[in-house]
Amino acid sequence: MEIISLILIGLSLSMDAFTLSLSYGLLSVPKRRVLLVSLSVGIFHFIMPLLGMQIGNVINMIVHTNFKIILILVLIIILIESIKSLKEETDKEYDLNLINIIIFSILVSFDSFSVGIGLKYITDNIYLGSLIFTILSFTFTYAGFTLGSILKSKAMENSKLLGVILLSITIVYFICK
């Protein structure tokens, strides 16, 4: 039962990475960057629950930060950039730089951090939980980029608009979450 719970939690933690990577997949991100982003997301989904378990309670007592608001603000900035790029050439590749990859990975891993605070109540082996989260988040991030790329080739000139729509839905989802 413990493994099933960890897998279900891992799936839910991977959905934001999937949705955001799907939006980026519509922007023609080079394959080497897709792999790098997916690996980075996986690594952060391993580290964040461990950090959450160790220091999450301390941080929450000292600084009352709402990570959801930070995530929504960053997604709105990405949405604004996507809307501005609607008039640009659709064939252009969007090459994520290292800073953007790290920000992307941290943002989609915030919920793993908060899960880490209560992970000890689900399993005594937090490394197993973190490993499951890593595998699922890597897989779903890569799948999101791949599906976005497939949708882009099918949708052609409307792909950026589809990306804007998906990102808007993601922002609404996080606001309502």
Which pLDDT band, with edges at 50, 70 and 90, does 137 fall under?
A: very high
Q: Write the DSSP assignment of the chain as a string of letters.
A: -HHHHHHHHHHHHHHHHHHHHHHHHTT---HHHHHHHHHHHHHHHHHHHHHHHHHHHHHHHH----HHHHHHHHHHHHHHHHHHGGGS-SS------HHHHHHHHHHTTHHHHHHHHHGGGT-S-HHHHHHHHHHHHHHHHHHHHHHHHHHHHHHGGGHHHHHHHHHHHHHHHHHH-
Token reading at 130? 């973190």
pLDDT tens across 68-100, in order? 665 576 667 767 776 776 665 544 556 678 888
pLDDT tens across 138-175, in order? 999 999 999 988 887 665 456 567 667 777 887 787 78
Q: Give the amino acid at 120.
A: K
Q: Give the amino acid at 99.
A: I
